[in-house]
Amino acid sequence: MAIKRCDYVWVDVFAKRAFQGNPLAVFPDARGLTTRDMQVLTKEMNLSESTFVLPASRSSSADARVRIFTPDAEIPYAGHPTIGTFFVLARDGKIPLKDGKTVATMEAKAGILPVEIFSRDGSVTKVVTVQSKPVFGPVFKKTSLLAEALSLRLSDFDVASAPPQLVSTGLPWLIAPVRTRRAVERISVNQQAFAKVVKGLPKGVVDIYATALDPVSEAATSHSRAFSLVSGSMVEDPATGSASGCLGAYLVNKGLIDVGASNKMVNEQGFAIGRPSKIEIEVRTTKGGSIKSVRVGGSVVEVMRGTATF
């Protein structure tokens, strides 16, 4: 049997130094890999996601086609994999950079999406993913069940001003605002109740994003934790770009922050699991107040490189 070899780059996203933020494995040249190969390699990496870069389709003018996998399945879009992947492509010279901002495009299952790469003197300083316009799903009315799933009290929620709600800017999340950072820190997942919450969500939605407008840093807006039911087990994600975009859209939509034409926020995540992360969010609105774009970005650091042989 022929042996396959494929190089990968391991990066930490939404971090300024190694071993913080959210780790990602990027396979910058996935030509020759089958879908099964990609899924097996993602399971082997044992991270929340891995990405595989391919030439863009002939019908697409994108700079790269990116396939994003969790250990369970391929997904249409995710924030930190997009940011980490384009950091690697830009750093390796596969995307020519202009000093300042370079706009690239990614072909993903979710569509053709722009990615903004910021650089200075040839070094990448920040990558921003432009997400899809938000889609607001139904309010989740079983707050008692949600509280049980997170081992919180019903009084930790303010359903009148900030009801739990399904939001998607490319990947749907149940946004679950609570009153205080201490409530976020106190969360301990009850897997049985969590599974019941998931059963009440649309098919394929397995994620809850708990958040409070009570951050550690004075420069931040929110303090959050992300929980997912993956392969029958609970996983806490240290930094979630897709959920942060949903959160930013939610806060603007509900008027929970001072809303203007450009609404910039910093979302903290990962503190509870020793991987502090700072996620930058910008939600732009029209004069009428409707949301026209959601951007999520941050810094990335390279941790290691290697070759998978199988």
Q: For the domain that residue 75 is a member of, what is the CATH number?
A: 3.10.310.10
Q: Is 174 left (phi over 0), alpha (psi -120 to 50) or beta?
A: beta
Same domain as 270, residue 154 = yes
Q: How many angstroms separate the CA atoms of 52 and 27, rounded? A: 5
pLDDT per residue, tens digit, the chain (310 aa), is 678 999 999 999 999 999 999 999 999 999 999 999 999 999 999 999 999 999 999 888 899 999 999 988 999 999 999 999 999 999 999 999 988 999 999 999 989 999 999 999 989 999 999 999 999 999 999 999 999 999 999 999 999 999 999 999 989 999 999 999 999 999 999 999 999 999 999 998 999 999 999 999 999 999 999 999 887 889 999 999 999 999 999 999 999 999 999 999 999 999 999 999 999 999 999 998 899 999 999 999 999 999 999 9
Enclosing domain of residue 183: 135-296
pLDDT at 91: 96
- For β-strands 165-168 and 135-139, DSSP reports them as antiparallel
Q: How many angstroms separate the CA atoms of 262 and 286, rounded? A: 9
Total domains in the fold of the chain: 2
pLDDT at 3: 87
Same domain as 279, residue 140 = yes
Helix runs in the chain, H state only: 35-45, 79-91, 143-149, 181-186, 191-199, 241-253
Same domain as 278, residue 187 = yes
pTM above 0.75, yes or no: yes
Q: How many angstroms separate the CA atoms of 127 and 129, rounded? A: 7
Same domain as 123, residue 158 = no
Tell me the angle at which helices 79-91 and 241-253 cross, rounded to the nearest 10 degrees: 120
Q: Is residue 218 annotated as a catalytic residue, yes or no? A: no
Quick one: DSSP state of residue 57? P
pLDDT at 59: 87
Which residue out of 49, 107, 268, 280 is catalytically annotated? 49
Q: How many angstroms separate the CA atoms of 240 and 250, rounded? A: 15
Strands (E), 70-158: 74-75, 100-108, 111-120, 123-131, 135-139
Same domain as 255, residue 305 = no
- Report residue 70 as tokens: 């969790």
pLDDT at 1: 62
Same domain as 193, residue 61 = no
pLDDT at 233: 85
